[in-house]
Amino acid sequence: AQSVTQLDSQVPVFEEAPVELRCNYSSSVSVYLFWYVQYPNQGLQLLLKYLSGSTLVKGINGFEAEFNKSQTSFHLRKPSVHISDTAEYFCAVSERSGGSYIPTFGRGTSLIVHP
Amino acid sequence: SAVISQKPSRDICQRGTSLTIQCQVDSQVTMMFWYRQQPGQSLTLIATANQGSEATYESGFVIDKFPISRPNLTFSTLTVSNMSPEDSSIYLCSALTEGGTEAFFGQGTRLTVV
C-alpha cells in the first residue's frame, strides 16, 4: 500500500518570495509522483509529474519538483510566487506495478500568497 | 489528455433524498473513478467505475449508499443515496486514459445536505 504525507497544512508567503511545499511518500514498489493544484471551486489540475529519468521536473506556472528516492520525497518549489498562486496543492503517488495507476493523495497544502 | 464534464456543479439537498452526479469524458478512457473531498481534507477514493459490471468499492463505501453506473467508456454516474448532513462534500469524477499515467479530473460537485 502507498501513502503520502504533506507536512504543512498551510503555507503563508509574501508575493515574489520563494516557496517550498513538502511531500513525502511511502511505497513498497516503484512509484509515479504528481503534484496537482486546485483553485477555489474548481477541480484538480496537473502541475507536474515524475515518471522516470531526471529527478528534477518542471511543470506549469513556473513550478518545479525534485524526486529524492533516498528520502522518499517530492518537494514542490517556485522561486517567486504570485498572488494568483494562492490555491490548494496536492501531492499524489501511484504505483507502477499492477497497472491501475489510481493515485493516492496527501491531505493538501493551502498556499496563501500575501501582497 | 481528457476533458471531463461533471454536473451538477453544486446542489443543496434535503436529508433523506438522493442526488445523481453525471460525468462525461470527451474521449474513451480505460478507467473512471470517484473521489470524495470533505472540507479541509484530502481526496478519498470511493470506487472504480467498471464498464458493464458492478463498481469496485473502497473500504468504508458500499453500493447501497453510493450506487455507480458506467454504461460505456465515456460516461459514469454516482448517486449519493438517503443523504445526511455528513454527506456534504465535494465529489470528483476522475479518469485515466489508455496508456496514461496521470488522472484527469472533472470540476467537482459541491454537495450540501440540509
> Is the pLDDT score of B53 beyond 80?
yes
Q: Cα–Cα distance between B59 and B74 in angstroms, integer?
A: 25
Residues 81-100 of B with CB under 8 A from A: 92, 96, 100
To the nearest whole percent, how much of chain A has pLDDT over 70? 97
B65: confidence class by pLDDT, cuts 50, 70, 90? very high
pLDDT of residue A100: 64
**Residues 28 through 57 of chain B touching chain A, CB cutoff 8 Å:** 31, 33, 41-43, 45, 48
The pLDDT value recorded for residue B102 is 85
Are residues B101 and A101, on separate chains, in Cβ contact within 8 Å? Answer: yes
pLDDT digits (tens, 9 = 90+) for A34-79: 999 999 888 899 999 998 888 999 999 999 999 999 999 999 999 9
Residue B64, number of CB atoms within 10 A of its CB? 7
Q: Mean pLDDT for chain B?
A: 92
The predicted pLDDT at position B61 comes to 96
Q: What angle do CA A10, A14, A15 make, to 5 degrees?
A: 120
Q: What is the pLDDT of residue A31?
A: 87
Q: How far apart are CA B98 and CA A94, in angstroms?
A: 15
| pLDDT for position A98 | 61
Least confident segment among A14-18, A20-24, A98-102, B92-96: A98-102
User: Is A49 an interface residue toward B (CB < 8 Å)?
Assistant: yes
Which residues from chain A sit within 8 angstroms of residue B45, using beta carbons? 102, 104
Q: Does A52 touch chain B (CB under 8 A)?
A: no
C-alpha cell at B92: 470528483
User: What is the DSSP code string of B3-16?
Assistant: -EEEE-SEEEE-TT
